Amino acid sequence: MSPKLVVIGNGMAAGRVLEHLTDDAPEAYQITVFGAEPRVNYNRILLSPVLSGEKTFDEIVTHDDAWYAARSIDLLKGKEIVAIDRAAKTVQAKDGSVTPYDKLLVATGSLPFIVPVPGKDLPGVVAYRDLDDVNTMLAAAQHGGSAVVVGGGLLGLEAAAGLKMRGMDVTVLHLMPTLMERQLDPAAGHLLKKAMEARGIRVITKANTHAIVGDGKVEAVRLDDGTEIPADIVVMAVGIRPNSGLAKAAGLEVGRGLKVDDHMVTSDPDVLAVGECAEHRGQCYGLVAPLFEMAKVVAAQLNGDTSAAYTGSVTSTKLKVTGVDLFSAGDFAEGEDREEIVLRDAARGIYKRLVLQDDRIIGAVMYGETADGGWFLDLLRKATCIADMRDTLIFGQGYVGGAALDPMAAVAALPDEAEICGCNGVCKGKITSTITAKGLTTLDGVRAHTKASASCGSCTGLVEQLMSLTLGDQFNRAAVQPMCACTELGHDDVRRLIIAKDLKTIPAVMQELEWKTSCGCAKCRPALNYYLLAAWPGEYVDDNQSRFINERVHANIQKDGTYSVVPRMWGGITNPRELRAIADVADKFAIPTVKVTGGQRIDLLGVKKQDLPAVWADLNAAGMVSGHAYGKALRTVKTCVGTDWCRFGTQDSTGLGIRIEKFMWGSWTPAKVKMAVSGCPRNCAEATCKDVGVICVDSGYDIHFAGAAGLDIKGTEVLTHVDTEDEALAVIVALTQLYREQARYLERIYKWTKRVGIESIRAAVVDDLERRQALFDRFVYSQKFAQVDPWAERVAGAEAHEFRPMAHFEPREAAE
């Protein structure tokens, strides 16, 4: 009699083991298979095409009843094993029946993770794991209605696409900022989101599910921010965990999964494990490729070949949503010892990125064109040295050994009727013939005569290449200083294109403007974060990680690693209550230095990072908010005592300073902004070396701007004279808004003024009243979202991870 093999679980891994085992040695075992599902073995990964209607269940069956019968395998469908008795070498099914074994194979797969929120057990909440789940979804989809999928990973997106194809109104909720973040980087995640949205699927990222609501059945999903999304069905697709409880109860060694050695044997020599339930060298897998490799080893092992060993797998991911091509493999996190090669083609929605270490591929992400995925995976698995093919590597296997692509040759090869400017429908022939006919030598000339590159401007590079081809040395490309090494574009083009192309996230900017790196650098990220904040107030969510350390922690780092804290003192005015609170804070937190700054504020120096939230809490309690002494923002409005106290005062300079500061605080600007108001031309508040200064005179207010008193020293320019305080505020606000909209990141007002010219600024905020009002209104609108005390937010728990003790080495900036 051959020995008895009992298999628990009849999923993909078990199915593959049985194939190998019965092919190699049909008589070796008497096999009994227990499957909790009431059906034969099927290809689980094709459940999504069944859901979407692209396949039927019969088409995804791998082994039908006849297959088991032909191999004399006793398949017990719908029979769940509830206990293993290793001493007696038996298994017990839920119906009480006991079956003996000589060898036992555990292949119980995974269990879907259900987010533990209120309402998770309501009828209508379903996981996505087996055919029953698909049938529940299909039943719900029969009536149309709304579906919410919690989880924007592989399973969630496949479920969403399937339900959409079945006619449901689908929303995907994803906790992280980009979709499939474990397999894709933000750029590819952005393209994927766009593709899902193009299918009519709503995607909400950074969405934290708070509760599932409904009376007797699912009715809606409530997010942390209170938003409720109607739902007739909720699909939970947030992850899986190895189904190893049965093994654990039997006393087998279990970590995250059931632990196996390289021969797939558990801590009991007669018990083997395979598939997602197994943990091998600390790793559990959730894709089929590794399971199939494991299955070969298990079959060999059961057939007595102890030399077969499983040593782990490098996995790759594809998404089975028709029309979405993505591929990812390996490790694509950034790292100092890593390099990357990035290729983006915004027009075709293509993004490819290879991560290299020591001239070897260690990670690959591709979107839009994935034909070379298998080749990259092979190079990765074999750790092939790619030094010799590096120049053409990213273009794929077809280019190996060829020369690097010459972009000029590609443009030269375009036919005359090839469209260059999509916005204005201008083709290559029109551009080259106009250049020659009109003797054009500048980009502006071509724009004026052909309209090419005159709208969104994304074809500017192509137009310039055509000019080079047509004019040769005669063409002098306007010297644009690129923002950084990640792009050819200068700050102004990036700002313009953010608006023209409606770009609302950093990954969107990087993909659509064809960034040369995957995630940008320390120069472009903070700039993009500011440009997006300025362009889309209320819509763009500030990316804290794109800010410098001082802005991340809302305090100024000092040379010993401690911080300085400067509470806001409106117009430089304080009172005994505030001073007492400051003194108490200094005592309580043993703050070594308390100093008066040049901007009429009090600076608490030497605060430990981990004490910051508590220090702010105490200052908040006394009514003080952040002074933004660390920020590219309005810092201080210095004032003199004016008519309140001074014999020479002509106007209420203190009142105006406080009014300006209360109106404008919190607003992010390209660089720091310092202001001052002096009550008479004696100018005790030093207003004539500030970014914006007001000198009060008997007849009203002289408004100055573009001064500097730092690395550069420069007296202000006079912008205009106004009669009233209201008008002074209106001009200052409009000026600041114009600066916010036009200046390059880190460009102070005096530098911006020098670049654009005083006259253009005066025309916008003094002469053109309508434009002044529009600028004013846009500033006021953006303040609705900006005037939030960042200290209070952090006291309430925001960004808590920042305030755990840790060393930081980043540029420092003085507080004032």
| Residue ranges of the binding site | 640, 646, 680, 684
What secondary structure, in 3-state letters, does 530-591 show?
A: HHHHHHCCCCCCCCHHHCCHHHHHCCEECCCCCEEECECCHHHCCCHHHHHHHHHHHHHCCC
Q: Which is nearer to ligand FAD, 62 or 720 (CB)?
A: 62
646 is an interface residue for ligand SF4 by CB under 6 A: yes
Q: 729: left (phi > 0), else alpha (psi -120 to 50), else beta?
A: alpha
Q: Which is nearer to ligand SF4, 152 or 599 (CB)?
A: 599
Measured CA to CA in angstroms, residue 111 lies from 114, 218, 286, 746 at distances of: 9, 22, 11, 51
Q: Indicate the residue whose CB is closest to ligand SF4.
A: 679
47 is an interface residue for ligand FAD by CB under 6 A: yes
Binding mask 670-709 for ligand SF4 (x = CB under 6 A): --------xxx-xxx-------------------------
DSSP secondary structure, 636-694, as one string: EEEE--HHHH-TT--S-HHHHHHHHHHHHTT-B-SS-EEEEEESSTT-TT-GGGSSEEE
* Choice from 254, 394, 532, 640 touching ligand SF4 (CB under 6 A): 640
91 is an interface residue for ligand SF4 by CB under 6 A: no
Residues recorded for the chain: 816
Q: Do residues 797 and 540 touch, judged by C-beta distance below 8 A?
A: no
* Residues within window 254-273 making contact with ligand SF4, judged by CB under 6 A: none
165 is an interface residue for ligand FAD by CB under 6 A: no
Handedness of CA 444, 446, 450, 451 (dihedral sign): negative
45 is an interface residue for ligand FAD by CB under 6 A: yes
Q: Quick count: other Cβ atoms within 10 Å of Cβ 741?
A: 17
Q: How far is the CB of 496 from ligand FAD (least distance, A)?
A: 41
36 is an interface residue for ligand FAD by CB under 6 A: yes
Q: Kindly state the tokens that stand for 115.
A: 């987010």
Q: Parallel, antiparallel, or unpaired for β 360-367 and 350-357?
A: antiparallel
Measured CA to CA in angstroms, residue 432 lies from 427, 455, 458, 460 at distances of: 9, 19, 18, 14
Q: Do residues 412 and 472 touch, judged by C-beta distance below 8 A?
A: no
558 is an interface residue for ligand SF4 by CB under 6 A: no
Q: Which is nearer to ligand SF4, 38 or 715 (CB)?
A: 715
DSSP letter for 766, please.
I
**Residue at token pair 């409720």:** 228
Q: Which does 8 bind (CB under 5 to 8 A by kind): ligand FAD, ligand SF4, none?
A: ligand FAD
Q: Which is nearer to ligand FAD, 80 or 419 (CB)?
A: 80
199 is an interface residue for ligand FAD by CB under 6 A: no
Q: Which does 34 bind (CB under 5 to 8 A by kind): ligand SF4, ligand FAD, none?
A: ligand FAD
Q: Which does 246 bind (CB under 5 to 8 A by kind): ligand SF4, ligand FAD, none?
A: ligand FAD
* Residues within window 263-282 making contact with ligand FAD, judged by CB under 6 A: 275-276
246 is an interface residue for ligand FAD by CB under 6 A: yes
Annotated binding site for siroheme: 684
Q: Which is nearer to ligand FAD, 285 or 752 (CB)?
A: 285
Annotated binding site for [4Fe-4S] cluster: 640, 646, 680, 684
Q: Which is nearer to ligand SF4, 146 or 678 (CB)?
A: 678
CB contact set of 382 (below 8 Å; sequence gap of 6+) = none
Angle formed by the axes of helices 12-24 and 288-302, nearest 10°: 40
* Residues within window 71-90 making contact with ligand FAD, judged by CB under 6 A: 80-81
648 is an interface residue for ligand SF4 by CB under 6 A: yes
* Residues within window 598-637 making contact with ligand SF4, judged by CB under 6 A: none
Q: How far is the CB of 372 from ligand FAD (least distance, A)?
A: 19
Q: What are phi and psi of 331, to 5 degrees?
A: -110, 120
CB contact set of 682 (below 8 Å; sequence gap of 6+) = 648
134-138-144 Cα angle (round to 5): 145
185 is an interface residue for ligand FAD by CB under 6 A: no
Q: Which does 781 bind (CB under 5 to 8 A by kind): ligand FAD, ligand SF4, none?
A: none
Q: Which of 466, 469, 465, 430 is nearest to 451 (CA)?
A: 430
Q: Quick count: other Cβ atoms within 10 Å of Cβ 43?
A: 16
* Choice from 314, 469, 480, 641 touching ligand SF4 (CB under 6 A): 641
Q: Indicate the residue whose CB is closest to ligand FAD.
A: 11
DSSP letter for 314, please.
-
Give the interface with ligand SF4 as residue ranges (CB under 6 A). 640-642, 646, 648-649, 653, 678-680, 682-684, 814
Give the interface with ligand FAD as residue ranges (CB under 6 A). 8-14, 34-37, 44-45, 47-48, 80-81, 107-109, 128-129, 155, 158, 243, 246, 275-276, 286-289, 291, 320
